[in-house]
Amino acid sequence: MDISLITYDGLPDLDPDDCLLRDELVKRGHKCHTCIWDDDSIDWSKFDVSIMRSAWDYHLKQDKFYAWIDRVSRVTKLLNPPDMMKWSSHKIYLKELGEAGLPVIETLWVMKGETAGGLFDSLQWEKAIVKPAVGLATFGVKRFMLDEQGRKDAQAHADHLAITGDVMIQPYLTSVEDYGERALAFIGGEYSHTVRKSSFQKLAPGGHAGETSVPTDEEEVAVGREVLKFLKNRPLYARVDLVRDFEGKPKVLELELVEPSLFLQFAPPSAPAKFADALERIVELHKV
Ligand SMILES: Nc1ncnc2c1ncn2[C@@H]1O[C@H](COP(=O)(O)OP(=O)(O)O)[C@@H](O)[C@H]1O
Ligand SMILES: [Mg+2]
């Protein structure tokens, strides 16, 4: 197959994880091309399949990105599937997951054009997180002490974000500082491995931002599997990010189906082969 691995212009040579993936695909006889998602000179119809990996600037170019998904998915098989990517790019999906009974972090919403009003005055939390509903790599994410000044600052940040998009407000779960956030990687819909992310981890190629390999925790994997079951179709790749709440229960922070690092460097050595198997299976099914 002719395969494009899709990145953005801040990472034109792919991240180290995706190099492992590319090596495996090339070993199997596929031709791999690295493509910048918004390079308008690319003829996407040349590729049998195009795999989104690291468009880490899509939140800054949202309209362009959604139009790109529509356009490109008409001429090449785009993975993850276009509707799945669009759905997961706006964190309002957490509301759907919560309504389906899945354990998600308590979240209040201020929709675009609204104001947080006196919302922060009634909160009993010690600290709150305010963040945009479309964002990645901590873009726009801020933590506030909910003392008198902090409530004002939190409201100002929420109102500022709400000028351009929907806003989320959550209790600040302190376990991110010690136990850490847990990123569970799923390949072809199957659980693969877990990585610990440090809090407010900045954007960086896989393996370069302070993440570490941690043993699998069955309680966390059970939550991750339930989250994936919610999806109608199996994604080629997925990451479920969990944080422990104040009672120590795992709560969903994100379900990433667009551009997650899969941290393959921290995975069992068979992970790239599993990814390639899953890809070949999806393409084969699609042919029938
Ligand atoms: N409710 C929360 N409690 C504690 N830390 C949080 C919370 N929400 C976000 N963070 C911190 O901010 C980071 C970025 O937030 P996240 O929701 O993962 O958005 P994104 O990764 O898309 O920017 C998280 O990795 C975590 O360190
Ligand atoms: Mg995150």
**Distance between Cα 173 and ligand 1 center (Å):** 9
- 70 pLDDT more than 80: yes
Q: Please tell us whether the domain made up of 2-88+278-287 is placed in CATH 3.40.50.20.
A: yes
Same fold, 93-103+175-266 and 108-172: no
* pLDDT per residue as tens digits for the range 5-54: 999 999 999 999 999 999 999 999 999 999 999 999 999 999 999 999 99
Per-residue pLDDT tens over the stretch 179-189: 999 999 999 99
Average pLDDT over residues 241-249: 98
For residue 212 the two structure tokens come to 């570490």
Class level of CATH domain 93-103+175-266 = alpha beta
Residue 192 is predicted with a pLDDT of 98
Backbone φ/ψ region at 18: left (φ over 0), alpha (ψ -120 to 50), beta:
alpha
pLDDT(173) > 70:
yes
The whole model's pTM is what?
0.96
**If we measure between CA atoms, which residue out of 58, 60, 13 comes closest to residue 35?**
13
Query: What fold, for 108-172?
Result: Dna Ligase; domain 1 (3.30.1490)
Whether the predicted pLDDT of 288 surpasses 80: no
Domain residue spans in the chain? 2-88+278-287, 93-103+175-266, 108-172
Q: Which residue's CA lies nearest to atom 12 of ligand 1?
A: 200
Whether 115 has a pLDDT exceeding 90, the answer reads yes
Mean pLDDT of 260-274: 95
Between helix 16-27 and helix 271-287 the angle, nearest 10°, is: 60
Least confident of 82-86, 97-101, 197-201, 256-260: 197-201
Query: What residues are in contact with ligand 1 under a 6 Å CB criterion?
Result: 105, 129, 131, 135-139, 141, 170, 172-173, 176, 181, 197, 199-201, 241, 243, 253-254
Virtual torsion, Cα 214, 236, 220, 146, nearest 10 deg: 90
Which amino acid residue places its CA nearest to atom 2 of ligand 1? 172
